[in-house]
């Protein structure tokens, strides 16, 4: 059955007038009448009773009308959906993000994406940087907000310009300052800022090194340049718990500045005066990614952080 002819049938049934239906369909009346005749021939029964004075639906035409209208509407919806998917206006975007980005950065990015593409379904997962790389390689997520990127790879067999199978690309979005979280009763809580070198005698609370080993190594290297041994006495798998342990007096914690959005009454966040005291925020995606939606979301993320540079 020809879907276009069903659309013609619905137009004539709505108007009960061939000339008005033809005008609505932006076509001449004779071709419209011809198409209705062909549809009736296909069906084996007449849809309209035609006289010189009026056009009315036959009983069988009335029985067919509601189903035809639903089918035409669904076909239009499907056409629109296909176009949205083709142009990246719809679909599903699976975003992984490190826990420290969940307080301020990830919500801001998702709001920016939703405002542009409200028809897109956004699936969000908290994952460590290392887990995001694996999830990208296995196709479990489409984009990642991470602190560390993939390790350097040796050149592939096809030469330095040949793509690695399952390769992940990282884009630097920003360098986020580190701040020091301390208990409100801690002696340092009365200062506005602190140098890393002043932390040599402090017990640290840290993010679990087993979950983010390379982030832990970066902090070890950063503090080593100031003569400080970074070896947390207790570690947690999320920053809410890290800050909670600080609030309970277990030690101090170096956290990305965005974590300051989580503000228990017994915790004070101090600026760190060392310029090097920062961690990267990276956008991760597959090197061979072909999704237009992912490409556009990447562009939004890059532009958003460029605007706030």
Q: What is the pLDDT of residue 303?
A: 92
CA distance 196 to 226: 6
Q: What is the pLDDT of residue 106?
A: 93
Closest by CA to 152, choosing from 133, 138, 139, 175, is 133
- Domain extent listing, the chain: 3-86, 92-151+166-171+282-307, 173-280
Query: Do 3-86 and 173-280 have matching folds?
Result: no
Chain-centroid distance of CA 185 in Å reads 40
CA 197 to each of CA 34, 76, 269, 272: distance values in angstroms, whole numbers, following the listed order: 88, 66, 17, 10
CA distance 7 to 24: 11
Contact by Cβ (8 Å): 192, 182: no
Q: Which tokens go with 194?
A: 């602190």
User: H or E stretch including 215?
Assistant: helix 213-224
Q: Is the dihedral of CA 210, 213, 215, 216 positive or negative?
A: positive
What is the secondary structure of 229-291 as a DSSP string?
----SEEESSHHHHHHHHHTTS-BEEEEGGGGGS--TTEEEEEE--TT-EEEEEEEEETT---
What is the CB-side half-sphere exposure of residue 270 using CA atoms within 13 A? 25
Class at the top of the CATH hierarchy for domain 3-86: mainly alpha
Closest by CA to 32, choosing from 51, 18, 17, 14, is 18
Q: What is the pLDDT of residue 309?
A: 54
Class at the top of the CATH hierarchy for domain 92-151+166-171+282-307: alpha beta
CA 265 to each of CA 234, 246, 254, 262: distance values in angstroms, whole numbers, following the listed order: 22, 12, 18, 10
Q: What is the pLDDT of residue 155?
A: 42
Q: What is the pLDDT of residue 78?
A: 80
Q: What is the pLDDT of residue 77?
A: 79
Q: What is the pLDDT of residue 307?
A: 66
Write out residues in the chain with pLDDT < 70, as ranges: 1, 80, 83-90, 152-166, 307-309
DSSP code for 76: H
CA distance 170 to 149: 6
- In DSSP terms, 120 is beta-bridged to 91
Q: Which CATH architecture has domain 173-280?
A: 3-Layer(aba) Sandwich (3.40)
Q: What is the pLDDT of residue 158?
A: 46
């Amino acid at each position: 059955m020809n879907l276009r002819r069903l659309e013609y049938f619905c137009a004539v049934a709505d108007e009960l007038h061939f000339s008005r239906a033809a005008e609505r369909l932006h076509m001449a009346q004779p071709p419209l009448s011809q198409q209705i005749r062909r549809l009736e021939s296909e069906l084996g029964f007449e849809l309209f009773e035609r006289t010189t004075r009026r056009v009315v639906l036959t009983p069988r035409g009335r029985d067919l009308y509601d189903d035809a209208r639903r089918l035409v509407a669904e076909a239009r919806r499907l056409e629109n959906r296909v176009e949205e998917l083709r142009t990246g206006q719809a679909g599903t975007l699976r975003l992984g993000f490190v826990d420290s980005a969940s307080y301020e950065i990830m919500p801001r990015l998702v709001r920016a994406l939703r405002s542009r593409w409200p028809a897109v379904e956004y699936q969000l997962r908290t994952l460590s940087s290392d887990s995001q790389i694996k999830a990208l390689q296995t196709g479990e997520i489409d984009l990642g907000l991470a602190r560390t990127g993939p390790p350097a790879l040796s050149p592939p067999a096809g030469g330095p310009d040949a793509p690695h199978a399952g390769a992940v690309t990282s884009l630097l979005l920003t360098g986020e300052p580190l701040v020091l979280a301390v208990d409100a009763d801690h002696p340092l809580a009365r200062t506005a800022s602190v140098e890393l070198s002043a932390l040599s005698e402090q017990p640290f609370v840290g993010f679990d090194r087993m979950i983010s080993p390379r982030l832990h190594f970066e902090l070890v290297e950063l503090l080593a340049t100031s003569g400080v041994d970074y070896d947390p006495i207790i570690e947690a798998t999320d920053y809410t718990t890290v800050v909670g342990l600080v609030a309970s007096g277990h030690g101090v914690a170096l956290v990305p500045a965005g974590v300051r959005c989580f503000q228990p009454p017994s915790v004070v966040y101090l600026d760190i005066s060392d310029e090097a005291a920062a961690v990267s925020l990276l956008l991760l995606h597959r090197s061979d990614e072909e999704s237009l939606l992912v490409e556009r979301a990447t562009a939004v993320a890059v532009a958003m952080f460029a605007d706030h540079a």
